[in-house]
Structures are given as structure tokens and as C-alpha cells.
Amino acid sequence: MKQALPKAGTVQIAPSILSADFANLASEIKLVVSSGIEIIHLDVMDGHFVPNITIGPPVVQGIRKCTRAVLDTHLMITDPGTYAERFIEAGSDHITFHIETVDRPAEFIQYLRRLGVTVGVTLNPETPAEAIRDICPLCDMVLVMTVHPGFGGQSFIDEAARKCVRIRSWVGPEVRIEVDGGIDTKTAPIVVRYGADTLVAGNAIFGQPDRKAAIQAIRDALA
Ligand code: DX5
Ligand code: ZN
């Protein structure tokens, strides 16, 4: 049974495990979930679409065993058509693919839905918002990259984040808008003002000694 995304409208923080302690993933995930986190962001990188390699289906299988949180799987890979199903079988609840990697995105979205997951499209900072204009209303969540994908701990690109304003006008209130990269206590209020309601944070949480306090600091910044 797949976990559904929380209804749009509530602001959700989605910790990215990219910055977590990979020697203790289960306890890291349990810790953030004990702070009321409902979505865990999994950064999948293939060393081709982005200059880094991270995790594959076996790791998702392991993570699935330790949490009921929504496994929000961000595919930074050149061939999501081949691999998406394996992530879904491994336990992914939500699949986000890069518009730069799929020729017929509307068909791909239908294919993913038939596999029982919620679906998202994402775009790199240099990709104009128009590239997803027709596609984003078909999605459950749209991910706006606010750094160049590949690494955690990079600086927030405000110009990229501003795409949220127009995307919100295209999708309305029911579709989640997720932002990813450089989100912390300073940038979180900015992106929510732009229309985002799902905030991926890696370094701002797992780069801090006290994860719970780091999550609370972001929540306080949004209050
Ligand atoms: C970057 C990933 C992001 C990254 C965010 O390619 O897609 O999810 O982990 O990390 P921070 O929050 O550290 O910028
Ligand atoms: Zn990501």
C-alpha cells in the first residue's frame, strides 16, 4: 500500500537524506519522523544526469523497512523510464522525474500512476518554467530546483525559486509545490511567500548537530 502525500495547503518539511549519516540511516529517519516529519526526500543520482552517485533501489528497500513516512523519490537520472518501476517496487511512494530526461512526459505520468504512486515533475534552475507548463497540472507535486542538482549544502538560487509564483498560478491550490536546495531558516519564509508548501532541507537539518532543533528552527522561521 503506498503512502499518500499530505493534502496540499499545509507546509511540510521534507528532510533530504543526502546530508544524513549514511552509516545510521534508520536512526536518522526515525529521529526526524519523531519530530512530526511526514515526508522523507530521497535523492537518487546516477553520475550521468548529475556529477554524483548516491542510492538505488536496494537502499530504498532498506529505508522502507524503517518508516511509514512518504518516500519522496527525486530521480536525478538520465533514464527514469527504465528505473522508476524498480524504485516503486522497492518502496517509493512518490516519484519525481526531471523534465529534461523524458520525451513524452504526459505518457510517463500516466505510466507512473498506473504503478500506484503519486507523481512529480521537476526542472533545473536553468530550465524555464514554461518547460513544464502543460505538464504540471497533471502532477500531484511540482519540484522546483533551487540549486543545481548534485550536491547538498549549495547556495539558494532566488531567481529559480521565483518560478513558484507562476507555477502556483498554473496548478492552483491542490497541487503541492516543493522546493529543493539551500532551504534553511532564512530561505524557507521566502519560498513559502513564492507559493511553495513542501520544503526539502538536507544540510539545514542533517548538517546540524541537533536535528530536532534544526527542524524546529525552520518551523519557527515559518511561524
Ligand atoms: C541536490 C538535491 C537536494 C539537496 C538539498 O541535488 O536534490 O535535495 O539534497 O540539500 P540542501 O538542503 O543541503 O541544499
Ligand atoms: Zn532532491
Q: For the chain, what are the domain ranges?
A: 12-222
> Is 9 a residue whose pLDDT tops 90?
no
What ligand has the least distance to the C-alpha of 151?
Answer: 1
Q: In what order do the strands lie in the sheet with 39-45?
A: 12-15, 198-201, 176-180, 141-145, 118-123, 94-98, 70-76, 39-45
> Is 190 a residue whose pLDDT tops 90?
yes
Task: Please tell me the predicted confidence (pLDDT) of residue 153.
Answer: 93
142 lines ligand 1 (CB under 6 A): no
Based on the residue annotation, tell me whether 46 is a catalytic residue of this protein.
no
Task: Please tell me the predicted confidence (pLDDT) of residue 1.
Answer: 87
Based on the residue annotation, tell me whether 43 is a catalytic residue of this protein.
yes
Residue nearest to atom 10 of ligand 1 (CA): 152
| Domain 12-222: which CATH number of 3.20.20.70, 3.40.710.10, 3.40.50.300, 3.10.129.10 | 3.20.20.70
Task: Please tell me the predicted confidence (pLDDT) of residue 127.
Answer: 98
Lookup: cell for 197: 508548501
Ligand 1 centroid, distance to 125 Cα (angstroms): 13
123 CB-side CA count, 13 A: 20
Identified catalytic residue from 140, 180, 184, 197: 180
Mean pLDDT over each residue of the chain, to the nearest integer: 98
Ligand 2 centroid, distance to 42 Cα (angstroms): 7
Ligand 1 centroid, distance to 116 Cα (angstroms): 26
Q: What is the mean pLDDT of residues 4-20?
A: 95
Task: Please tell me the predicted confidence (pLDDT) of residue 168.
Answer: 98
Task: Report if pTM > 0.85.
Answer: yes
Q: What is the pLDDT of residues 40-81, one digit of tens each?
A: 999 999 999 999 999 999 999 999 999 999 999 999 999 999
Percent of the chain with pLDDT over 70: 100
What ligand has the least distance to the C-alpha of 202?
Answer: 1
